[in-house]
Chain A
Amino acid sequence: MSATTTTTGRRWRPPPFIANPWLRLALYGGVALYLALALGTLQVNWGRVAEGLVRGWAFIAAFGSPDFTSRWPEIYEGMVESLTMTVVSTVLGVALSLPVGLGAARNLAPMPVYLVCRAIIATSRSFPEIIVAILFVKMFGFGPLAGMVTLAFATIGFMAKLLAEDLEDIDEAQVEAIRAAGASWPQLMVYAVQPQVLPRFIGLSVYRLDINFRESAVIGIVGAGGIGATLNTSFDRYEFGTSAAILILIIGIVMAAEYASGIIRKRLQ
């Protein structure tokens, strides 16, 4: 490249990603300063880490020979809990997100309803699932019911927000046409609004089912039922074979769910 540009005496350079040189320099300087500070204050017990390398290797080796059998009853029970929790919470959450989503669409709902529904969505979305799970375990007691309520609560925020956005983007002409035919409000919803948003809504529900399964593997750590508790116990006992078996099962189910949801979503569009 340099050979061809010698006619002007200057080597060509690609334009920088950040055009303003001062901003660029300030950014680089800031990053360097931050890295120095962050790495400088990092407290790491290297002795413990070195000790852990042996255990880390044992864990990686365990993936070669996962142990499905010795803890199978616990694994089975945890998986069944996770899967049933996932199904019930998704259905419940999606059902509850319908009215909230309708209320949070500015073009369909009056102002007070809109504000209430947006507040519900904001509350549900701002906390990580596991923190909500801590509170619900406290309220409902240990077990999958608390986990189910947690996941349903998180589903409401997720689905209602996306539904409301879709509703705000619908084609008003179709709504007007149906309204001109003399439709009542419920008829308007069924014949003008629902066909416009339903395919994407179903696709998102399937996607949320997938997310809920992944989350159900986590909230067991704080006692909300599911495979997370079994996994946590197996780590505590250093039974890496069992942990590897559970992780392989989770990855397998997530892959299958992702594949299935991909097919369903493709067929809907």
Chain B
Amino acid sequence: MPTHSLPSGQVEWRRRTPRAVLLRWVCWLLGVLLVVQCWQIMNADTIWEFVYDAPAQGADLLGRMWPPRWSVMDKLWWPLWDTLNMATLGTALGVVLGVPVAFLAARTTTPSAAIARPIALLIIVSSRSINSLIWALLLVTVMGPGVLAGILAIALRSIGFIGKLLYEALEETDPKQIEAITATGASGAQRIAYGFVPQIMPTFAGISVYRWDINIRESTVLGLVGAGGIGLQLNASVSRLAWPEVTVMFIAILCTVAVSEWVSARVRAAII
């Protein structure tokens, strides 16, 4: 226990040893230096005149955004339907592709730990590292703008998410049940169907609904790079500086996200 002797001869308790205190100070100093250095590199090209009037710009923007132009809502129902479809069909495709990847990646179910598992893990990491907007950017370049690019972007991003969470669930399954199924003479497919699937089914349903919720949120902005949905209209309105329309779209996006979050919370509560 670190202590410290006072001049009066009393011994006082201290939380850390002098060495630990010194080490902490050095770490803090290095950390602060790093942040200051980063700040300077980052702001090398910043034009501070534009920054100083940011509050005025912000107030100006709010002034232009209010009141919202509700009439634009008539044009938004179709893009909202597209947004919903991108998220839902994208999630469905992501689930279809992500489940086999998860079974290949889990130590408990992989057919070969030397070849299949690293490949599956690489697919999961690549899919997870790249944001769905970047996937959309890529797909719009390749196959042209439209809802299909959005669906595929959502699906490609979802593979990694579903794959990762599902393979972790597969590795945490109870081995006793699997052993019992194996002991009855079950084949590999039967082991998966009767041993693994019942154990991961609730997790799987929860993950899928959770991902769907995230995908609704992400699909609202995919249109910014041309992948269809409400983001496309948002991009058009921002480029035309039609701020009252932007306000309506923000509200529409917020409501969609709130509804999807509510649905997902209800469904997950029902499953668990």
Q: Which residues on A are within 8 Å of B, measured CB to CB?
A: 14, 17, 34, 38-39, 41-45, 48-49, 51-53, 55-56, 59, 80-81, 83-85, 87-88, 91, 126-128, 130-131, 134-135, 138-141, 143-145, 148, 214-215, 217-218, 221-222, 225, 228, 231-232, 235-236, 238, 243, 247, 250-251, 254-255, 258
Roughly how many angstroms separate A45 CA and B41 CA in the complex, as a whole number? 45
Residue of B nearest to A39 (CB): B89
Output the least CB separation between B13 and chain A (Å): 11
Structural contact, B133 and A255, CB atoms closer than 8 A: no
CB contacts under 8 Å to A, within B29-83, are: 31, 34-35, 38-39, 41-43, 45-47, 50-51, 54, 57-58, 61, 81
Structural contact, B50 and A56, CB atoms closer than 8 A: no
Asked if A247 meets B130 with Cβ closer than 8 Å, knowing A38-B88, A44-B148, A235-B138, the reply is yes
Q: Which of A48, A59, A88, A139 contacts B42 (CB 8 A)?
A: A88
Asked if A84 meets B41 with Cβ closer than 8 Å, knowing A48-B144, A214-B131, the reply is yes
Residue of B nearest to A4 (CB): B184
6 smallest beta-carbon distances between A and B, as pairs: A141-B50, A52-B143, A254-B129, A84-B38, A48-B144, A84-B42
Residue of B nearest to A225 (CB): B42
Structural contact, A140 and B50, CB atoms closer than 8 A: yes
Structural contact, A139 and B141, CB atoms closer than 8 A: no
Asked if A49 meets B144 with Cβ closer than 8 Å, knowing A139-B54, A218-B134, the reply is yes
Residue of A nearest to B61 (CB): A138
Asked if A41 meets B221 with Cβ closer than 8 Å, knowing A14-B198, A138-B61, A235-B137, the reply is no
Structural contact, B41 and A80, CB atoms closer than 8 A: yes
Structural contact, B201 and A139, CB atoms closer than 8 A: no
Q: Which residues on B are within 8 Å of A, measured CB to CB?
A: 31, 34-35, 38-39, 41-43, 45-47, 50-51, 54, 57-58, 61, 81, 85, 88-89, 125-126, 128-131, 133-134, 137-138, 141-144, 146-148, 194, 198, 201, 205, 217-218, 220-221, 224-225, 234, 238, 250, 253-254, 257-258
Structural contact, A52 and B142, CB atoms closer than 8 A: yes
Structural contact, A221 and B41, CB atoms closer than 8 A: no
Main secondary structure of the interface of A (DSSP, over half): helix
Q: Which residues of A contact B89 (CB under 8 A)?
A: 38-39, 42
Known A38-B88, A131-B253, A217-B134; further 18 A-B contacts with Cβ < 8 A? A17-B201, A41-B85, A42-B89, A42-B148, A48-B144, A56-B143, A59-B141, A91-B31, A128-B253, A139-B61, A140-B51, A140-B57, A143-B45, A145-B43, A145-B51, A214-B129, A235-B137, A251-B125
Main secondary structure of the interface of B (DSSP, over half): helix
Residue of B nearest to A253 (CB): B129
Asked if A235 meets B42 with Cβ closer than 8 Å, knowing A41-B81, A45-B146, A251-B129, the reply is no
Q: Which of B58, B126, B142, B225 contacts A139 (CB 8 A)?
A: B58
Output the least CB separation between A162 and chain B (Å): 16
Structural contact, B125 and A143, CB atoms closer than 8 A: no
Roughly how many angstroms separate A139 CA and B50 CA in the complex, as a whole number? 8
Q: Which residues of A contact B129 (CB under 8 A)?
A: 214, 250-251, 254-255
Structural contact, A148 and B42, CB atoms closer than 8 A: yes
Structural contact, A131 and B38, CB atoms closer than 8 A: no
Structural contact, A217 and B131, CB atoms closer than 8 A: yes
Q: Which residues of B contact A232 (CB under 8 A)?
A: 137, 225
Q: Which of A34, A45, A84, A235 contacts B141 (CB 8 A)?
A: A235
Roughly how many angstroms separate A48 CA and B226 CA in the complex, as a whole number? 14
Structural contact, A44 and B147, CB atoms closer than 8 A: yes
Q: Which residues of A contact B133 (CB under 8 A)?
A: 130, 218, 221
Roughly how many angstroms separate A49 CA and B139 CA in the complex, as a whole number? 10
Structural contact, B142 and A144, CB atoms closer than 8 A: no
Asked if A88 meets B38 with Cβ closer than 8 Å, knowing A41-B81, A139-B61, A218-B133, the reply is yes
Asked if A130 meets B224 with Cβ closer than 8 Å, knowing A49-B144, A84-B41, the reply is yes
Give 7 CB contacts A-B under 8 Å.
A45-B146, A126-B257, A144-B46, A214-B129, A235-B141, A251-B130, A255-B129
Output the least CB separation between A215 and chain B (Å): 7
Roughly how many angstroms separate A50 CA and B231 CA in the complex, as a whole number? 25
